[in-house]
Amino acid sequence: MELSANQFSGHLPSTIGLSLSNLEELYLGENRLTGVIPSSITNASKLTILDMGPNFLTGAVFRAFGCHIKGAIPDEIGNLSSLADLYLDSNQLTGFIPRTLGKLRHLQRVYLEHNKLDGFIPAELCQLSNLGDLYLSDNMLYGSIPTCLGELKSFRRLYLDSNKLESTVPLNLWNLKDLLELNLSSNSLRGSLPSEIENLKVVNQLDLSQNQFSGDIPSSTGSMQSLKLGIPGSVL
């Protein structure tokens, strides 16, 4: 269904995903559509292409995981000003993570794992002061971990594993005292593990395996009672 580049206005039908359950491609871009993206869109299980930008749509939750969606995430996603949760994992997305995600100040959960995204992790994500979960696992991201991510005290779960990240881990990342889960495994990160690792007071899952870390394992890890720790070559 191709409806792009018209002057359609108003809200999308609340049952759009139910009535178009067999639809494979939906193009609604370059219109004047407003309102919330209907949650029923997630029922269009055969959808492979979904183009909704640019419009004036909003939505607290956008779920389109496991839909075999191809192509890049459009910059216009930054127009979804009310978005709190973004589920685009387990698709075939390519290209960069849009810097415009940093405009979505209500975002709390971002799931982009199991795609083919590349490029750097944009520092604009550090503008998301409410971000609790960031899942970027199993992509082709490279470069270093932005230092400013260590300033996001809202983090509860951070998954950057199975990419091509390199350099050292920002020291302030170990100061996220409310972090519950951290996975940096299967990258090319290097350097030693600092004693500050003990600042992860409530972390229960920490996987650093399959990297290039060196030096001693800090004795301070012994005081982290709830921790399940993965390190290069072994699991403690």
The whole-angstrom separation of Cα 71 and Cα 62 is 17
- Two tokens at 63? 């779920």
* Residue that the structure tokens 């004036």 belong to: 56
Q: What is the structure's pLDDT at 236?
A: 37
The whole-angstrom separation of Cα 44 and Cα 52 is 15
Residue 106, C-beta contacts closer than 8 angstroms, at least 6 positions apart: 60, 81, 82, 83, 84, 130
Residue 203, C-beta contacts closer than 8 angstroms, at least 6 positions apart: 179, 180, 181, 182, 224, 226, 227
Averaged pLDDT in 10-residue chunks for the chain of 236 residues: 89 80 81 77 69 67 73 82 86 93 93 97 96 98 97 97 97 94 97 91 92 89 69 46
Backbone angles phi, psi at 116, to 5 degrees: -130, 35
Q: What is the structure's pLDDT at 78?
A: 84
> Helices (DSSP H) in the chain: which residue ranges?
16-19
Q: What is the structure's pLDDT at 234?
A: 40
Q: What is the structure's pLDDT at 235?
A: 38
Q: What is the structure's pLDDT at 190?
A: 96
Backbone angles phi, psi at 48, to 5 degrees: -110, -25
Sheet-wide strand order for 56-58? 9-10, 32-36, 56-58
Domain positions in the chain: 1-101+112-126+139-143
The whole-angstrom separation of Cα 189 and Cα 213 is 7
Q: What is the structure's pLDDT at 228?
A: 65
Q: What is the structure's pLDDT at 21?
A: 75
